[in-house]
Structure 1
Amino acid sequence: MIKRLTKVLVFIAIFSLTNNIYCQSIGTASAYINVDLKEKVGTMDPVWAWFGYDEPNYTYMKDGKKLLSEISKLSPVPVYVRTHSLLVTGDGKAALKWGSTNAYTEDAKGNPIYNWTIIDSIFDTYIKRGMKPLAQIGFMPEALSTNPTPYRHYWKPGDPYSDIITGWAYPPKDYDKWRELVFQWVKHSIERYGQKEVESWYWEVWNEPNGFYWKASMEEFFKLYDYAADGVKKALPTAKIGGINIAGTGGKSGIEWTTKFVEHCINGTNYATGKKGSPIDALLFHAKGSPRLANGVVRMNMSPQLRDIEAGFKIAAAYPQTKNLPLIIGESDPEGCAACGMATNPENAYRNGTLYSSYTAATFARKYLLADQYNVNFLGAVSWSFEFEDQPWFYGFRDLATNGVDKPVLNVFRMFGKMSGDRVKVTGNRMYSLKTVVDSSIRGAKTEIGGLAAKASKSAAVMVWNYHDEDRQGPAEPVDVSISGVPAKSAKLDIYLIDDENSNSYEVWKKMGSPQNPTAAQIAELEKAGKLKCIQTKKIAIKSNNAQVPLNLKRQAVALIMLAW
């Protein structure tokens, strides 16, 4: 008995020692990314080339026009832009979470007065840059609102979010006037920009009706949608309109509202026409993550965002009438309030630096994978991030630029703009599975070193990131990137990098002493630091159709490898 027990203990000791050595060897093994250019997994559709923001009047202001020019230039295809409050009554002055165009008022007798001046200045800014409106039909003009007082809000960071909900969030007192307003808007757009141009736009009704933004029932919203869609189609039968831009798509409310909206559009009685069904040319929904502050450290959580996306894809795939419709994630972000800075919401401290850029790279890769899994027509994901005019430098807003200086996150989109053709297979020993990320984000003992790759006719692009939910910096790790199937004997190699030393205006600003009134020379330095930086350019040999590219990636870094032959 003692001998047997001794043998068992010896076996356990040997097994434990061997297993520990094995685990240590796995833990210390070099990270690798393998890319097979011959194995197509999908197309590198520019689903990232969609942007949006709350404040429409920033569009034609100084820094707004500058940023829109930069966004339009980074994309090989027209960028779509969505903004709130295009029908809100007011003087056109911008404020946080507020905008107005004064498109609709009434005279003393209640007759409509249409004024397209401000809307034209917004859409002109897009069209001149080759961009397209994702035109939001909302919110309710003061003269049409069933509960117009109070109407103008004066929300600021730290105030209750519900304070923004005023008279613009209510149904119209006259649905025929509502339909006519939409008809006149589309008609005017055709006259100004031409039918072919307007046919390329998408129109959508309202925003998050299951949340703060709609002060009425679900059925009342369907009525609002039907009358708006009827106005659009009467002006232009070939126009594309959709909805429902729901909040919390993966939650009980989001699933219920989206499902019933789809069923209403398929089989319901149209409130505007009395006929069966309502036009739906695209299905839109929202997806948000959930960062938190844990022991003084920001911890991201992409799981809720990806579950929202998965829920929207599942609903679309469940109906023959919607399974092939264009799907647009109308807002797709790490959390929900772009104008809530880190001073009032410390969990939003991720927004200025490289945690935001690496998060963006890792989440977009999963959006592609979810679309592949559910075989849906994924058209775009709107990043609800723009700029805030005349605000403090690096205040912690969810924006792409601050005072005209680009943040690191914008450089991820510049990287995406260099990727085209087919998406190809990527594997790696440090990549988290799609299921793991959807279920629990990226929170393991080690960071994720993951990749996304595309192949065009004479080039390839590989994006590689080193990401973890916890906002901690870390030393550079060696990453061996192997690219097989290169049809050449040599190629030009370019490597672009975003980390704490490259493509990063925020770190340069901090080294300046975080000035709130930087000099002209400092601003010029910050603008230069905000651009995407190429850290290496050279010609390399391709051996047996295989390219070996070594990287050193710090935690939160994103690299783009470009091969051209």
Structure 2
Amino acid sequence: MRTLAAGLLALSLSSRPGLAQSMPTPQPMPTPVSITVDLAHPVGPAHPLYAWFGYDEANYTTMRDGRALLTELHDLAPVPVHIRTHHLLSSGDGVAALKWSSTNVYSEDAAGNPVYDFHILDGIFDAYRDAGVVPMVELGFTPKALVSGAGPYEDVYPDAAIGGTVHSPPKDYTKWRALIRTVVAHLADRYGRQTVAGWYFEVWNEPDIPYWHGTPAQYFQLYDTTVAAVRSVLPQAKVGGPATTGPGGASGAQFLKDFLDHVAATRAPLDFISFHAKGQPTIQDGQVTMGLAQELTDVDKGFALIAGHPEFRSLPIILSEADPEGCAACSMTVNPANAYRNGALYPAYTAAAYKRLFELADRHGVNLLAMLSWSFEFEGRAYFEGFRDLSTNGVDKPILNFFRMAAMLRGTRVATAGPQSHTAADIIAHGVRDAPDIDALATADARGAAVMVWNYHDEAKPAGGTPVALTITGLPKTAARVRLSHYRIDDRHSNAYTAWQAMGSPQNPTPAQLAELKGQAGLQLMESPRWLAPSGGTVPLTLDMPRQSVSLLALDW
């Protein structure tokens, strides 16, 4: 009866004038891309590189959305989350502006005697303590009473974003040394010497460009003076720098090399090395093309410089800013290419970058500790304005869900292989401009495994999805039943931005709309968790991966 009914229906449809001709011709299914994960083949430790964040505007820390986001960052990770901010020593009223903040911790009376006021700085560090996150203390910039430069003190974005004398060398190093000693002693007294000794103290930010209105030699003097002052209070404190711009550029590379040569010659304290790595997106005819090659070039060149100094090769490396481009406070109204920050392209880019950071560290034999995302939130700005932030008016953006996924990667990295996986060298040479990067990063421990899979392309233009035939091998014999939880970031999952667009992009969402946005903002399951029965230690899975999507497959047994 079913066969007859089907035949009659087909005859009925074909007999209607024009209907048969209007029915779409079935398109061939794309050939699946095969990816193999071997849980029994370890390739290296899975350091939690992801658990580091930073921002220019330190005063956002104590505001409503800033406090809420700090708690979210703490809660996403099973390891300590570190926070780095600019302007911890800058003078001012404590009111944040784009690329500006202040604490007014140091001033002087009419006789030139120091006056300390810790109430703004304490508010910032108390918020870190209350949220359970760990400060990475960037020691800068110069209080107004100590600046050596002439001209306006404050930075004014965008006219003089780093033009203020706040970035000039201190005019009196005796007073600077006393300032650093006093601030570190205060932190140790307030939060506990043992606690503060576990923090990372970084000297300044990007001294190879106008964040430092001085010479390299003057920075080296600043570094030596500052780390000696920190260590005089806390002999076991972890000190380092120089937080240069990307070594893929001439200034960043030369400054990092000269700094390492200086430390090697003087034996100044150095417990970690920091530099920055940034991509370079472009826009043409309204189309964004990401520049992952540039970020990986920065990392590759920086690691090579450090590996060239055998005495420093084992030191922890902190990429104290590692991002798709350089200006978090430049919204898409300033640079239309920055629209990528709102949707699924940003997390897909970060997934592709994340694996290659491990690859490059392995290749150079260096000790990569952290990839710090220079992104936080911009209090009270328009919804989805296109800043490089994790949350907009309390609504999490898709990029924050990447970090939630990354937190599920635990234990040991294991081998993955596939025909559309690009090596770091390939991406440095060519970018991801032809075939997409369809790849995986996987980890395992005694209790389970996690596999992150992505379909990434530098170009943001629309493209069809790709089926992925994922084969997970090497499951232990004890894993007779395996529970699979499949999380996804794409245009329909874990994406408050597309939900907001579907509402008509309201800048004053109703309470019901806001509740819906927050319901779409977290990390979402692609399907209900289900149990699998491995055969011979192997589980086959099929995924449909849209362009610019990321999946996290969590397996436990």
Alignment TM-score, normalising by the size of structure 1:
0.92
Between the aligned partners of 1:420 and 1:511, the Cα distance in structure 2 is 36
Could you say what secondary structure the match of 2:454 adopts?
strand
Q: Deviations over 1:76-100 (max 9, x none)?
A: 1001110000000001011110000
Equivalent of 1:455, from 444, 450, 453?
444
Q: CA deviation at 1:448?
A: 1.5
**Retained in 2: the 8 A contact 1:342–1:348?**
yes
Q: Alignment RMSD, CA only?
A: 1.2
**Retained in 2: the 8 A contact 1:407–1:504?**
yes
1:490 aligns with 481
Whether 1:556 and 2:548 are equivalent positions in the alignment is: yes
Q: Deviations over 1:118-145 (max 9, x none)?
A: 1111111112222111100000000000
Between the aligned partners of 1:424 and 1:290, the Cα distance in structure 2 is 30
**Retained in 2: the 8 A contact 1:499–1:554?**
yes
Write the mapping of 1:399-414 to structure 2, written as runs, cut at 5 A: 399-414=389-404
2:502 aligns with 511
Equivalent of 2:490, from 495, 499, 503?
499
Between the aligned partners of 1:341 and 1:122, the Cα distance in structure 2 is 25
Write the mapping of 1:293-442 to structure 2, written as runs, cut at 5 A: 293-442=283-432
Could you say what secondary structure the match of 1:562 adopts?
strand
1:12 aligns with none
Write the mapping of 1:80-95 to structure 2, written as runs, cut at 5 A: 80-95=82-97
1:186 aligns with 184
Whether 1:279 and 2:269 are equivalent positions in the alignment is: yes
Letter in 1 for 2:443: A
Between the aligned partners of 1:484 and 1:200, the Cα distance in structure 2 is 40
Q: Deviations over 1:373-403 (max 9, x none)?
A: 1111110011001100010110000001100
Q: Deviations over 1:151-190 (max 9, x none)?
A: 12332xxx34x44311201011100110110111111111
Q: Deviations over 1:249-306 (max 9, x none)?
A: 12222121111111111113xxxxxxxx311110000000000002320000111111
**Retained in 2: the 8 A contact 1:473–1:556?**
no
Could you say what secondary structure the match of 1:244 adopts?
strand
Between the aligned partners of 1:117 and 1:316, the Cα distance in structure 2 is 39
Q: Deviations over 1:511-533 (max 9, x none)?
A: 01000111111111111101000
2:15 aligns with none
Between the aligned partners of 1:457 and 1:394, the Cα distance in structure 2 is 41
1:541 aligns with 533
Q: Deviations over 1:330-385 (max 9, x none)?
A: 10000000011111101111110011010011001100110111111110011001
Count of residues in Structure 1 that have an aligned counterpart in Structure 2: 526
**Retained in 2: the 8 A contact 1:288–1:334?**
yes
Q: Identity over aligned residues, as a percent?
A: 46
2:462 aligns with 473
Q: CA deviation at 1:28?
A: 5.2
Letter in 1 for 2:38: D
Could you say what secondary structure the match of 1:419 adopts?
coil
Could you say what secondary structure the match of 1:293 adopts?
strand
2:139 aligns with 137
Between the aligned partners of 1:339 and 1:532, the Cα distance in structure 2 is 25
Write the mapping of 1:113-128 to structure 2, written as runs, cut at 5 A: 113-128=115-130
Greater alpha carbon shift after TM alignment, 311-320 vs 450-459: 311-320
Between the aligned partners of 2:34 and 2:74, the Cα distance in structure 1 is 34
1:176 aligns with 174
Where has structure 1 moved over 4 Å in runs of 4 or more? none
Could you say what secondary structure the match of 2:187 adopts?
helix
Gap regions ≥5 residues in structure 2: 1-28
Write the mapping of 1:20-59 to structure 2, written as runs, cut at 5 A: 29-59=31-61
Q: CA deviation at 1:222?
A: 0.6
Q: CA deviation at 1:29?
A: 3.1
**Retained in 1: the 8 A contact 2:59–2:95?**
yes
Gap regions ≥5 residues in structure 1: 1-26, 269-276
Q: CA deviation at 1:440?
A: 2.1
Equivalent of 1:288, from 263, 278, 295?
278
Whether 1:263 and 2:252 are equivalent positions in the alignment is: no
Between the aligned partners of 2:161 and 2:408, the Cα distance in structure 1 is 42
Q: CA deviation at 1:473?
A: 2.8
Between the aligned partners of 1:139 and 1:551, the Cα distance in structure 2 is 49
Equivalent of 1:200, from 173, 188, 198?
198
Could you say what secondary structure the match of 1:473 adopts?
coil
Greater alpha carbon shift after TM alignment, 246-255 vs 197-206: 246-255
Between the aligned partners of 2:181 and 2:304, the Cα distance in structure 1 is 33
Between the aligned partners of 2:264 and 2:123, the Cα distance in structure 1 is 36
Between the aligned partners of 1:442 and 1:311, the Cα distance in structure 2 is 19
Between the aligned partners of 2:84 and 2:430, the Cα distance in structure 1 is 30
Alignment TM-score, normalising by the size of structure 2:
0.93
Equivalent of 1:147, from 146, 149, 154?
149
**Retained in 2: the 8 A contact 1:472–1:555?**
no
Could you say what secondary structure the match of 1:322 adopts?
coil
Between the aligned partners of 1:126 and 1:372, the Cα distance in structure 2 is 33
**Retained in 1: the 8 A contact 2:240–2:273?**
yes
Could you say what secondary structure the match of 2:487 adopts?
strand
**Retained in 1: the 8 A contact 2:352–2:456?**
yes
**Retained in 1: the 8 A contact 2:51–2:77?**
yes
Between the aligned partners of 2:393 and 2:254, the Cα distance in structure 1 is 41
Letter in 1 for 2:256: T
1:531 aligns with 522
2:5 aligns with none
Between the aligned partners of 1:97 and 1:333, the Cα distance in structure 2 is 16
1:69 aligns with 71
Letter in 1 for 2:518: E
Between the aligned partners of 2:108 and 2:223, the Cα distance in structure 1 is 22
Letter in 1 for 2:228: D
